[in-house]
Amino acid sequence: MTFDVAAIRAQFPGLDDAKDGKPFAYLDTAATAQKPRCVIERMAALLGAEYGTVHRGLYRRAAHTTKLYEDARTTAAKFLNADRGEIVFTGGCTDAMNLVAHAWGRANLKPGDRVLVSGMEHHAGLVSWQTAGFAPEAIPLLDDGSLDLAAYDRLLAQGNVKLVGCVHISNALGTVNPVAELARRAHAAGALFLVDAAQSAPHLPLDVRALDCDFLAFGGHKVYGPTGIGVLYGRRAVLESMPPWRGGGEMIERVSFAGTTFAKPPARFEAGTPPITEAIALATALEWLMALDRAAVQAHEDGIFSYAEERLAAVPGLKRIGTAAHRTGVLSFTLPGAHPADLASVLDMENVAIRAGHHCAQPVMERFGVPATARASVGVYTTRSDVDRLYGGLLTCVRLFG
Ligand code: PMP
């Protein structure tokens, strides 16, 4: 099946933002993805003629939104090859990771128990543990930005590891981690395994059974859906063993001043009025993504990524950070004499949007001895022409700063 990028782009009004005759080259999809028209229209309808609450109304409209909300859970389950009872809607990917650290961590970790996370975690996968009162240890990185698997084995062999967390695709390096193999080794050592799929969910088909992970988190806005919504997959038995994190709303069974009992998962973890419209519109985004030929999407994005690598290699002096054998989606780089923010500003004048900073992965910056990097990232709608515009803008930067 061929992949028609022009037909895809026509569905994204956010890409249509020319300035001074220069088309908009949006190369910041790793931060947040533009939205297809079907998601925008779904949100508008849900906030308009279809608006209502969930779970507590006895009238027709509330029954309608409740059905859509619960159907959205079924869609998210299909997206991950999970059961719908294993899908918890959260406020985002960060919120999902915090739920694991706070609810599972506090109930299961005793003094002396250890948590390992990759040295390329997004802060969501590190600070969540720290704010819950734990001090995760880093699985170190090799110079190419891949995980040091021998060090991982040594850390596991030291014993008492109860959970390992790892990004599937690094948002700072583009490294694709062998999460199924990492999960296998974690399980052999008696630890659970958490996948941060924030960057992989839009790019790769995900199957929690094949990955054999215990938790997997992703957010709506990077999979072409709304902000304010995320998904936590938790293996049924693990979710059932966990206490709630936040209290209120429909997460209860029976409440009294003498004591409260809690609903079964997933309701146990969805306190308060949930992000109703966001969850339903997320399902629209996931249906949209699943209706595409996912292999063709992946081939397209990988093709654009390789092309961008070639172009960046031709920019004099440019240094890439993140050259692991298995990498995709995200290109981090620096240019001597220029702060990454200067590069982003010059490119912005060309109407090319990239990200500059630490990408919420400060330990990665420290590992590679840079304060920040410039980062271009690829989405389903990215074209070679976007990459050519990046290349042209970077040549201007070389002239200005070189
Ligand atoms: N993990 C990774 C790998 C990410 O790239 C991001 C977003 N940059 C997050 C977690 C957090 O996602 P959110 O900010 O949407 O909660």
- Residue 38, domain member (yes or no): no
| Predicted confidence (pLDDT) at residue 15 exceeds the cutoff of 80 | yes
- Residue 191, domain member (yes or no): yes
Same domain, 25 and 48: no
| Predicted confidence (pLDDT) at residue 2 exceeds the cutoff of 80 | no
Provide the 8-state DSSP code for 377: E
Tell the residue nearest (CA) to atom 6 of ligand 1.
198
Q: How far is the centre of ligand 1, averaged over its atoms, from the C-alpha of 207 (Å)?
A: 19
Select from 272, 290, 308 the last residue of a domain. Answer: 290
Tokens of 226: 């709304």
Q: Which residues pair with 28 in a beta bridge?
A: 377
State which ligand 1 atom lies nearest to the alpha carbon of 92: 16
Pocket probe mutation, ligand 1, options 28, 93, 121, 364, max atoms within 8 Å of Cβ: 93
State which ligand 1 atom lies nearest to the alpha carbon of 97: 10
Same domain, 103 and 250: yes
Pocket probe mutation, ligand 1, options 94, 169, 375, max atoms within 8 Å of Cβ: 94
| Predicted confidence (pLDDT) at residue 1 exceeds the cutoff of 70 | no
The percentage of residues in the chain with a pLDDT greater than 70, rounded to a whole number, is 100
Q: What is the CATH number of the domain that holds 317?
A: 3.90.1150.10
Q: pLDDT class for 57, splitting at 50, 70, 90?
A: confident
Q: What is the span of the domain harbouring residue 397? A: 5-30+293-401
Same domain, 221 and 334: no
State which ligand 1 atom lies nearest to the alpha carbon of 171: 5
State which ligand 1 atom lies nearest to the alpha carbon of 170: 3
Q: How far is the centre of ligand 1, averaged over its atoms, from the C-alpha of 393 (Å)?
A: 27
Distance CA 196, CA 265 (A): 20
Q: Please enumerate in sequence order all residues whose Cβ is within 8 A of that of 4, keeping only pairs 6 or more positions apart, or say none.
A: none
- Residue 204, domain member (yes or no): yes
Positions marked catalytic: 360
Backbone angles phi, psi at 343, to 5 degrees: -60, -45
pLDDT tens-digit profile of 314-344? Answer: 999 999 999 999 999 999 999 999 999 999 9
3-state secondary structure of 261: strand
- Name which of 1-10, 80-89, 100-109 the model is least confident about: 1-10
Q: Which residues pair with 26 in a beta bridge?
A: 353
Q: What does the pLDDT average to over 217-239?
A: 98
| Predicted confidence (pLDDT) at residue 96 exceeds the cutoff of 70 | yes
Distance CA 248, CA 269 (A): 10
Q: pLDDT class for 69, splitting at 50, 70, 90?
A: very high
Q: What does the pLDDT average to over 245-254?
A: 95
Pocket probe mutation, ligand 1, options 171, 206, 327, 362, max atoms within 8 Å of Cβ: 171
Q: What does the pLDDT average to over 197-218?
A: 98
Same domain, 242 and 283: yes
Q: What does the pLDDT average to over 159-188?
A: 98
| Mean pLDDT, rounded, of the chain | 97
Same domain, 235 and 345: no
Q: What is the CATH number of the domain that holds 264?
A: 3.40.640.10
Q: Please enumerate in sequence order all residues whose Cβ is within 8 A of that of 317, keeping only pairs 6 or more positions apart, or say none.
A: 335, 336, 337, 398, 402
Q: How far is the centre of ligand 1, averaged over its atoms, from the C-alpha of 33 (Å)?
A: 12
Q: How far is the centre of ligand 1, averaged over its atoms, from the C-alpha of 116 (Å)?
A: 19
H-only helix segments in 246-383: 276-291, 294-313, 340-349, 362-367
Q: How far is the centre of ligand 1, averaged over its atoms, from the C-alpha of 385 (Å)?
A: 27
Same domain, 122 and 229: yes
pLDDT at 163: 98
Tokens of 61: 């409209």
Backbone angles phi, psi at 145, to 5 degrees: 90, 15
State which ligand 1 atom lies nearest to the alpha carbon of 360: 8
Tell the residue nearest (CA) to atom 12 of ligand 1.
93
Same domain, 115 and 224: yes
3-state secondary structure of 294: helix
pLDDT at 25: 98
Q: How far is the centre of ligand 1, averaged over its atoms, from the C-alpha of 50 (Å)?
A: 30
Smallest CA-to-CA distance from 121 within 195, 193, 191 is with: 195
Distance CA 178, CA 172 (A): 17
Provide the 8-state DSSP code for 240: H
Residues with CB under 6 A from ligand 1: 92-94, 122, 124, 167, 171, 196, 198-199, 219, 221, 360
Q: What does the pLDDT average to over 86-100?
A: 98
8 A C-beta contact, residue 109 and residue 115: yes
Predicted model pTM: 0.98
| Predicted confidence (pLDDT) at residue 282 exceeds the cutoff of 90 | yes
Same domain, 153 and 230: yes
Q: How far is the centre of ligand 1, averaged over its atoms, from the C-alpha of 163 (Å)?
A: 20
Domain tally, the chain: 2
- Would you call 21 exposed, middle or buried from its count of C-beta atoms within 10 A (0-12, 13-18, 19+)? exposed
| Predicted confidence (pLDDT) at residue 381 exceeds the cutoff of 80 | yes
Beta strands in 134-269 (DSSP E): 137-139, 161-167, 192-196, 215-219, 230-234, 252-254, 261-262
| Predicted confidence (pLDDT) at residue 68 exceeds the cutoff of 70 | yes
Tell the residue nearest (CA) to atom 4 of ligand 1.
198
Select from 290, 317, 345 the last residue of a domain. Answer: 290
pLDDT at 208: 98
Distance CA 88, CA 81 (A): 14
3-state secondary structure of 75: helix
Same domain, 264 and 322: no
